[in-house]
Structure 1
Amino acid sequence: MINGKAVVVFSGGQDSTTCLFWAKKNFKEVITVSFDYNQKHVAELDCAKKIAKELGCENHVLDMKLLGQLAPNALTRNDIDIKLGEEGELPSTFVDGRNMLFLTFAAVFAKQVGARHLITGVCETDFSGYPDCRDVFIKSLNVTLNLAMDFQFVIHTPIMWIDKEETWKMADEMGALEFIREKTLTCYNGIIGDGCGECPSCKLRKRGLDNYLNSKKIK
């Protein structure tokens, strides 16, 4: 365990909760930071608060509503349908600048509380085409934050190179599979647990879980 303080960018979803369990195994003190950006599934903020409390972590919610106004997307607008990217276009659920701003504000917060470690659940393997989930972006931002604030942050991305099946495996190995399956909110329609089963996020999550559970049976 690292004798230090860490801040987890936390939505209460599968990926960030897996990263929260990882952080608790690796750092002495863990604080979570969530963001209100006028998301339609605002229930995730309540979910994040409950999970953080159950796991004994502080949870802070930062106001990022301006982001929802500046970057029209299916997560903040009822008049935009949830669609996968077609012909090289980004999915309608992509929010311009979201991870850059979230990590930047998390870093500002982290410096105030003396935390040098930032943890985020971005993933390049199952990233849906989001450019701000790529490893090259995270490494670039890490350098920029350190230069901008003259503070040596380290951004950790525990699930960067694994897919959803392997993410479920990671959760299981930490004894957290059922907790994450039952208490997290990944669904774009705001349904906790296994979700609506119809939105792209639910389908990705379910496919990964089914593949992992089937692989366990085979073994």
Structure 2
Amino acid sequence: MTDKKKAVVLVSGGLDSATVLAMANAQGYECYALSFDYGQRQISELNAARAVAKAHGAIEHKVVRLSLNDFGGSALTDNNIDVPEEETEGIPVTYVPARNTVFLSLALGWAEVLGASEIFIGVNAVDYSGYPDCRPEFIDAYEKMANLATKAGIEGHTLSIQTPLISLTKAEIIQAGLTVGVDYSLTVSCYQADNHGQACGRCDSCRLRAKGFEDAGTDDPTRYQS
């Protein structure tokens, strides 16, 4: 018998979610990794998610298939919208409408089935590209809703949403990840990576990642397209 707490960890295959999974594992949680094939522009991040889940302590890894590309509305789910390669003001076109709300809802369902008391998600309100569903206000509101909407919550088995990266810079995230043994060479952050997981080096996510490694003063293991 184990007395470890169970946690569902959202794992995209990117730098942030890999860090969160390794952190949760280091804290002694039994980690159940959850990823989504949601019709995103590139699928190499899911290959990265599988590698990250295997390397960093997931008891089980599920990939749920969705079709957010049926709605479009984002450069990540609609091939008619270009991924921007220059900085833009406001909420960028790479924002996927309601994505974290959808993802957290499915994580909530699995957590209730597992009897897990925590959901870990790698949202960040510092280097977060302007996404509204990465803010503390959203997480707080969702956690309150989750405990109102579930049998577990009504019966007093409170669920919490853990966001250990929410107030960290990208450099601080990388430094924290290195202390818990994250292998960042396994991760893919690029919005338009090729089928081999090689990054474009030009999109917003690539720029944030490169600056993070530079500011952290550590080697960047990212593989770039030639």
Work out which of the residue numbers 61, 64, 67 in structure 1 matches 2:66. Answer: 64
Task: Give deviations 1:71-119, integer Å, cap 9, x for gaps.
Answer: 421011111012367453x201001100011001101011111111100
**Contact 1:183/1:193 (<8 A) preserved:** no
Shift of 1:193: 7.0
Counterpart check, 1:196 vs 2:190 = no
In structure 2, distance between residues paired with 1:183 and 1:86 = 29
- Alignment of structure 1 residues 132-151 onto 2, 5 Å: 132-150=133-151, 151=153
**Aligned-partner SS, 1:12:** coil
Change in CA separation of 1:166 and 1:106 when aligned onto 2, cut-off 3 Å? same
- Alignment of structure 1 residues 33-182 onto 2, 5 Å: 33-57=34-58, 58-65=60-67, 67-83=68-84, 86-88=88-90, 90-150=91-151, 151=153, 152-176=158-182, 179-180=183-184, 182=185
Give aligned pairs, total: 208
**Contact 2:44/2:197 (<8 A) preserved:** no
Identical-pair percentage: 38
Unaligned runs of 5+ in 1: 215-219
Of 198-207 and 167-176, the range deviating more from structure 2: 167-176
In structure 2, distance between residues paired with 1:122 and 1:137 = 10
**Contact 2:34/2:62 (<8 A) preserved:** yes
Alignment-derived partner of residue 32 in structure 2: 31
Shift of 1:163: 0.9
Alignment-derived partner of residue 217 in structure 1: none
User: How large is the RMSD of aligned CA atoms in angstroms?
Assistant: 1.8
**Contact 1:194/1:202 (<8 A) preserved:** no
Task: Give deviations 1:181-219, integer Å, cap 9, x for gaps.
Answer: x110101112577722111101110001001117xxxxx
Work out which of the residue numbers 181, 186, 206 in structure 2 matches 1:183. Answer: 186
Structure holding more helix per residue: 1
Code of the residue aligned with 2:172 in structure 1: it is: E
**Aligned-partner SS, 1:27:** coil
Alignment-derived partner of residue 208 in structure 1: 212
In structure 2, distance between residues paired with 1:72 and 1:194 = 25
Relative to the length of structure 1, the TM-score reads 0.89
Shift of 1:55: 2.9
Task: Give deviations 1:106-161, integer Å, cap 9, x for gaps.
Answer: 01011111111100000001111100000010010000011001422110001000
